[in-house]
Amino acid sequence: MHRHDLLPNLRQSEDQQLSTSELEKAACAPIPVDSGRFNAHSKFPYGCTVRAVQKSMVAFIDFLGFLNGQLRTRDLPRIEMLMMPANFSSLVGEFIVSSIPKYCPELVKNRYHNGHPDLVPHGRYPDDLVLHGPAGIEVKASRYPGGWQGHNAEACWLMVFVFKVNSSSAHDAEPVPFEFRAVYLAKLAIADWKFSGRSETSRRTITAAVTKAGEEKLKSNWIYLA
């Protein structure tokens, strides 16, 4: 085969690389939160508000955009491509938990390490820390539109932040920017959870998943839908 016969393939390869590079650059800028997509009629406990949720989401978008922009200047992958998927979800959740109290003084972050729930009413527990208490809001961030899981079946207020993002486990996927897709909130009962089994050879931690009835409770009180 002559060299000139290879040129079309080379040009096509260069075009594809350029296209991927442009997509990767665009993916560094998260999709902004749409202020028109919030539900003014959603119900909140403990003085939490739509404004507090919206401000926290916007703060995360700003944080992620800044972080990925800086990583790109060092020719490094976006943070979501560096972290394991579950760890990135934890990052989203922990950021939200830390942010909401800035806009809702009635709530504070539970100061007990891995305490439940994540957000507790200010002054309800000594030093605002409790291993396991009935009052407060548990926060979950997930890339999945349903089937949300937790380590235990809990009777609690649960707030779920659903997002769309690339996964570090799928490096060949087309680059897409982070986007919040939905936020839901509901008070779940023990009956709204079911335990997920595992095989005898599995080392996966046994978890509890929200039932369909629990999902309906959450989605009936939606806070944000993109």
**Cα–Cα distance between 130 and 187 in angstroms, integer?**
19
- Domain annotation covers residue 182: yes
- Domain annotation covers residue 169: yes
- Domain annotation covers residue 21: no
- Domain annotation covers residue 219: yes
Question: Residue 205's pLDDT is what?
Answer: 64
Q: Residue 27 pLDDT more than 70?
A: yes
What is the total count of domains within the chain?
Answer: 1
SS3 letters across 63-118: HHHHHHHHHHHCCCCCHHHHCCHHHHHHHHHHHHHHHHHHHCCCEEECCCCCCECC
- Domain annotation covers residue 140: yes
Of the candidates 144, 148, 221, 150, which has an alpha carbon nearest to the alpha carbon of residue 187?
A: 221
**Cα–Cα distance between 143 and 96 in angstroms, integer?**
15
Exposed, middle or buried, 200 (CB in 10 Å: 0-12/13-18/19+)?
exposed
- Domain annotation covers residue 167: yes
Confidence of residue 16 (pLDDT cuts 50, 70, 90): low
Average of per-residue pLDDT across 69-92: 95
Which one-letter amino acid corresponds to residue 86?
A
Residues 6+ apart with CB under 8 A from 213: 191, 192
Average of per-residue pLDDT across 3-29: 64
- Domain annotation covers residue 207: yes
- Domain annotation covers residue 104: yes
Over residues 86-141, the pLDDT tens digits come to 999 999 999 999 999 999 999 999 999 999 999 999 999 999 999 999 999 999 99
Question: Residue 219's pLDDT is what?
Answer: 97
What is the CATH number for 180? 3.40.600
**Cα–Cα distance between 226 and 180 in angstroms, integer?**
7
Question: Residue 3's pLDDT is what?
Answer: 43
**Cα–Cα distance between 208 and 69 in angstroms, integer?**
37
Q: Residue 155 pLDDT more than 80?
A: yes
Question: Residue 21's pLDDT is what?
Answer: 82
Domain that holds residue 200: 41-225
Confidence of residue 204 (pLDDT cuts 50, 70, 90): low
